[in-house]
Structure 1
């Protein structure tokens, strides 16, 4: 069975950078984070949070040790890294999986690699959603703010999230709103055939740019997870593409398919992607159509997930019911 952490009131957030830390010129983000949570939660900052050199916050051992320490610290209720990065993969073999307590870790991008590995190896639910840097505003938009409600659920409870009203199509850390983002486009979820869709199954996923590297490793044994923790229930994969070209994206999906990751898959959700270019006319939407034809399962895309915020909070391991109709979506998650 899946083991669900539960976020209690008066929680303490542990902030560490198992991938990239915050570079010197952006350390003012930390002051803004402290101000945002001043009357809401206690913050404990790991040293890696404040460092960034050669595409990482520190060497792999230092990053892994700090992450393990925050997991083992009974005073820490949830771990939220500042953001993603590039080289979280270096810490995968140094995480103390056998002794991990049932504690939330929340994030996305490169952090999704660590979270998916934890869930697959231990059956502990992890949460794909916002990072701590994007929670530094005076308040959060309605979609982002749902992270608290989702992670406060008890085992056996359920919660509903809806598609957002608008999203941010480009990033500019120098120009922020009171809720950090600048929503300039109307949100519209889509399905391949534009028909209404309802999918049920266990949620798994993350940023495909990095999680496809788990294929064939001890940290990506999906078949073992299916047998050991979810009694071979179907899986709903949620995947987002940060910057892979359409042909790279296609290769990643095929690698997952060949490895059996899509066996007993009930559907795929693709997050909005900033990748707009095609390769000799082959586009990201062509990738969606190809996987739809091959797997013959529902495919919904441009969902609230990934690098064009806001994001729904998707819990790896939770039982999900995803409903799509007329450009809007609804996600029900049950902690069973």
Structure 2
């Protein structure tokens, strides 16, 4: 079995459903404006009821969310699923999803949505895309890094797509002071390596928000070894992680657990996104975490890449073959959609 890459066309119907969090009434305009932009691009949009719901840290009960998502995953008229954003409790729906009848179609998002992305790729071999949320496409324009989501998702099997590090990134969210670009990109982007030397690595991409995908360990939805054997012929993996809320010691515990669970077997490199929460514990800093991991695994580690809650974001495709270069505080990601 091999990786299956969905195909996105400009006439595709986008299914908007909230497998994690939906929107409160006062937030409706965020999604409405994003939908208008998608329709302006030529897409049709079908919005599920869960998108307009939010109660007790989730859009709806687990079975309700799963039913709506299953329906969209099996609907031939929908070619692309785009949740409004992440949230907290997507993991509740996994046991209710019909993985055996998932039809190949792109799913794009980040944060809590990455639980769904990684689980689907690991279980089915269908490629999924980690990148922007649809509500972040509500502005009149998109920055060049964010805008690449469309080019990535229209890449066909056998082709490749190249993305470059951003020029600047957003340090703080300013929801009450929106610009035509949504994001306020003010800080100079600098991709770095632990070795302080250039990095060039190859491998299959896997990753997501480390806060939540860690909870797949030990479940039927997080069997990385089976995925390696069944879908990628034990090729090395390039892991990419974003960190939303984990302080340094919690991050360290999580990475050790991943290592002990075999997630880092046959790994060629690890990439860490920028994080707003790299809070030190005593004199233990996030750079210490990265250095210890690099020494233990004997692999290169890059950090402060365009991934996570400090936008903009590279669109990473789980399952795709990638070449990643980091040099002079800049980076390039080439993804090939190959078996």
What TM-score, normalized by structure 1, do the two folds share?
0.99
Asked if the contact 2:31–2:134 (Cα under 8 Å) also holds between the matched residues in 1, the reply is no
The structural deviation recorded for 1:287 is 1.0
Pick aligned residue for 1:57 from 56, 59, 77:
59
Alignment of 1:1-336 (within 5 A): 1-40=2-41, 41-336=43-338
Q: How many residues align?
A: 336
Unpaired segments ≥5 residues, structure 1: none
The structural deviation recorded for 1:23 is 1.0
The structural deviation recorded for 1:29 is 1.1
What is the rounded CA distance, in whole Å, between the counterparts of 1:266 and 1:84 in structure 2? Answer: 28
> 1:149-168 CA deviation, whole Å, 9 max, x = no partner?
10101111101000000000
More moved, 82-91 vs 66-75: 66-75
The structural deviation recorded for 1:30 is 2.5
What is the rounded CA distance, in whole Å, between the counterparts of 1:34 and 1:104 in structure 2? Answer: 17
Partner SS for 1:250: helix
> 1:7-28 CA deviation, whole Å, 9 max, x = no partner?
0122211100000001111111
More moved, 169-178 vs 110-119: 169-178
What is the rounded CA distance, in whole Å, between the counterparts of 1:220 and 1:35 in structure 2? Answer: 36
What TM-score, normalized by structure 2, do the two folds share?
0.98
Partner SS for 1:321: strand
What is the rounded CA distance, in whole Å, between the counterparts of 2:131 and 2:316 in structure 1? Answer: 7
> 1:220-274 CA deviation, whole Å, 9 max, x = no partner?
0000000000000000000111010100000110110000000010000000001
What is the rounded CA distance, in whole Å, between the counterparts of 1:162 and 1:31 in structure 2? Answer: 30
Instruction: Report runs of 4+ in structure 1 exceeding 2 Å deviation.
Output: none
Partner SS for 1:43: strand
> 1:284-328 CA deviation, whole Å, 9 max, x = no partner?
121111111111100000000011000000000000000010100
RMSD of aligned residue pairs (Cα, Å) = 0.8
The structural deviation recorded for 1:276 is 3.5
Asked if the contact 2:22–2:84 (Cα under 8 Å) also holds between the matched residues in 1, the reply is yes
Partner SS for 2:333: strand
Unpaired segments ≥5 residues, structure 2: none
